[in-house]
Structure 1
């Protein structure tokens, strides 16, 4: 359907059946205005068959699905135990960005983000990270935000004296002394997940190198719901910031609408409660620890058992620590800036969303899944924004809808320019 035709559809059209969350039934922008922000979903789209997954795709579906439990491989457990017995003072780089480089000790749960330059945004990162963590916790949104522990200014000589091995590990990347932000370390995706990702998406000639590259142990999968450009057979391959595009997630039958919902809710919290533009934040799949406790048996179950039957976990550990839970994480806050609840704030939010990597769903797409993902994002965004702004003036409560409308208008202009280029060619 051409983008220019979609605004003339109404709810009475048989082909128009956008899903609207029940919680939005009484939303102040619901019906005419909400419908103007949603994409048309046809009956044919809804009835699209789901193909059978191959073995490789089934394994990736299991590993990358949000909330899925993944037992940690025995080799990882052995390495962790060995690491605990080794010198815990050794550090290695586990990530890097424009603002800083991230280091961690083997077997430890802290991540050390070191500023790369003098005028870094690390203090702003600290402020915005703490603010957004508190707001996400307050609203109990599903997305995970790592905890932010403490800040070390470069002028603190005692800290650097006590952590000389950190300076030694990072001296090739950063000028010491430098500011440090200490946060929760997020567990990478499992070794099995890394292996299957390499098998699925890495070019054949470099697969062996990718499997043995230590950098790929720090596996983080960026979720690009706004892109359909994902490809296999990549000749330049890294799992440290692996980009998983919407078309690839659809192929793996991941719950992309749930991801869109989590994104929408978290963006609404960041925009309208934290009052920030959420500039350059990142959405990525990584693991969290999940302890599997002993399964407690009730009295009737015990009566049916042979006396003195073992009833603990299969691992024979009192508490099995070696499981990971795949989660969607919200990361990187160094470029986040505060906004005002007015037209200037809207402009700031829209700009931040359009210059970021394509994490967010896009409107006016031909792909039926992309349309459903956009709709879910819109519904969740407005639902949370309405709850946050319910005590505000009506003009302020309109701002979230204006943001979404601006995104639609920008996409219309972009598609119009592309059409002109194609026509002239």
Structure 2
């Protein structure tokens, strides 16, 4: 998720993020017949900025601070909403803020279109979504805070430095490249012969360890900070939010502070039905305004680490700790190679893994006190047991890749 720069955007971070319900109903037709949807009447500049297995991502080209995810997988999208909200609460915990000066970020959920309002919403607004499937069907939709794009200077440098699956001319002329997020593949040494590193645009541009060392996005200092943020964030997801993190995505995007100024997801979202209308966060706005570019532009010249896409993740109970730890191991070893390589044996790569492991265990010790209170002192050993099993599983997978180890299921 990303955004383009606009010199004429509003200087109020809240402008366009949510319209007053009475004001919205006075300006809409079908949507005004139900209290379940609040929208700006003419969001003509919506644009696709990403696609995934669970949905398509849109934002306004007028430098919106909100993104919109639409798709047909009702259960997957609702799972994304509730677990993103859960992880956001965990990362926003005042105690976590006190422990970590800089930490992993997660988009805040801003609202959704309730089931009973969906037909009316798409009757009014399908024409504003660029892809035709939105006009022919009534997919589910929710809003979340936007991850800003990498700055334009860095985007241009990436376009000229790296090879793409299309021609250089096509890449440079492609307006999709106004949006850029970077996937930090710390588990990959180099781009050479790596399918994950093939790309035809900058939406989720892959970066390997070699790329970080030869093309510093911010500084060598930030690379170390990013590794620590990824480790501490994963520990908070596991041991404070109690989410397994299956198939989650990490991206580097621009810095922004609006996510911290209006985040209010209710506590009972975990027990509420999918796309219900009984919660106060069920209204969304098709936003077309955002903070003034002059006041925020400097923040886009630095990068920040985000985590997103919780549609395939699941809550974890530690009532059966061995089963829970096994699930965590499965999640980290089945994911894309974001994490440093546990099989590293020497040099910078070994140090990278050791730094990651150390930061993870330090954080897990701090944030797992509720588990210690519930399960006793034995719970203090669980994070280290997880890391040991992760290293063992990674070794087995490497042996299997080299033809030396084959593991058959039951």
| C-alpha contact 1:99 1:120 (8 A) present in aligned 2 | no
Distance 2:91 2:198 in 1: 38
Which of 224, 240, 247 is matched with 1:280 structurally?
247
> 1:248: how far off?
1.3
Q: 1:213 to 1:171 in 2, by over 3 A?
A: same
For 2:122, the equivalent position in structure 1 comes to 160
Does residue 164 of structure 2 align to residue 189 of structure 1?
Answer: no
Distance 2:181 2:394 in 1: 29
Q: 1:361 to 1:173 in 2, by over 3 A?
A: farther
> 1:242: how far off?
0.7
Secondary structure at the aligned position of 2:304 is classed as strand
Give the ranges of 4+ consecutive aligned residues of structure 1 lying more than 6 Å apart after TM superposition.
232-235
| CA-to-aligned-CA distance 1:253-278 (integer Å, 9 cap, x gap) | 54433222111111111111111101
For 2:395, the equivalent position in structure 1 comes to 412
Secondary structure at the aligned position of 2:369 is classed as coil
Distance 1:223 1:134 in 2: 24
Secondary structure at the aligned position of 1:247 is classed as helix
Q: How does 1:92-171 map to 2 (within 5 A)?
A: 92-107=47-62, 108-115=64-71, 117-138=72-93, 139-140=96-97, 141=100, 142-156=103-117, 157-166=119-128, 168-171=129-132
Distance 1:399 1:133 in 2: 23
| C-alpha contact 2:249 2:309 (8 A) present in aligned 1 | yes
For 1:384, the equivalent position in structure 2 comes to 363
What RMSD, in angstroms, separates the aligned Cα atoms of the two structures?
3.1
Q: Structure 2-normalised TM-score?
A: 0.70
Distance 1:217 1:377 in 2: 32
For 1:353, the equivalent position in structure 2 comes to 332
Which of 200, 211, 215 is matched with 1:248 structurally?
211
For 1:395, the equivalent position in structure 2 comes to 378
| C-alpha contact 1:125 1:335 (8 A) present in aligned 2 | yes
For 1:207, the equivalent position in structure 2 comes to 168
Q: 1:205 to 1:331 in 2, by over 3 A?
A: closer
Q: 1:248 to 1:103 in 2, by over 3 A?
A: same
Distance 2:82 2:293 in 1: 40
Q: Which has the larger radius of gyration?
A: 1
Higher RCO (C-alpha under 8 Å, 6+ residues apart)? 2
> 1:358: how far off?
0.2
Q: Flag structure 2 segments of 5+ consecutive residues without an equivalent.
A: 11-15, 17-41, 259-291, 406-410
| CA-to-aligned-CA distance 1:330-378 (integer Å, 9 cap, x gap) | 1111111011211111011100101100001122314522211111111
Distance 2:233 2:132 in 1: 36
| CA-to-aligned-CA distance 1:30-65 (integer Å, 9 cap, x gap) | xxxxxxxxxxxxxxxxxxxxxxxxxxxxxxxxxxxx
Q: Tell me which moved more, 231-240 or 145-154.
A: 231-240
For 1:223, the equivalent position in structure 2 comes to 184
Distance 2:349 2:340 in 1: 7
Q: Structure 1-normalised TM-score?
A: 0.68
Q: 1:106 to 1:348 in 2, by over 3 A?
A: same
Secondary structure at the aligned position of 2:68 is classed as strand
Q: Flag structure 1 segments of 5+ consecutive residues without an equivalent.
A: 1-71, 292-316
| C-alpha contact 2:126 2:135 (8 A) present in aligned 1 | no
Distance 2:337 2:166 in 1: 29
| C-alpha contact 1:91 1:165 (8 A) present in aligned 2 | no
| C-alpha contact 1:346 1:399 (8 A) present in aligned 2 | yes
For 1:330, the equivalent position in structure 2 comes to 307
| C-alpha contact 2:181 2:202 (8 A) present in aligned 1 | yes
Secondary structure at the aligned position of 1:398 is classed as helix
For 2:279, the equivalent position in structure 1 comes to none
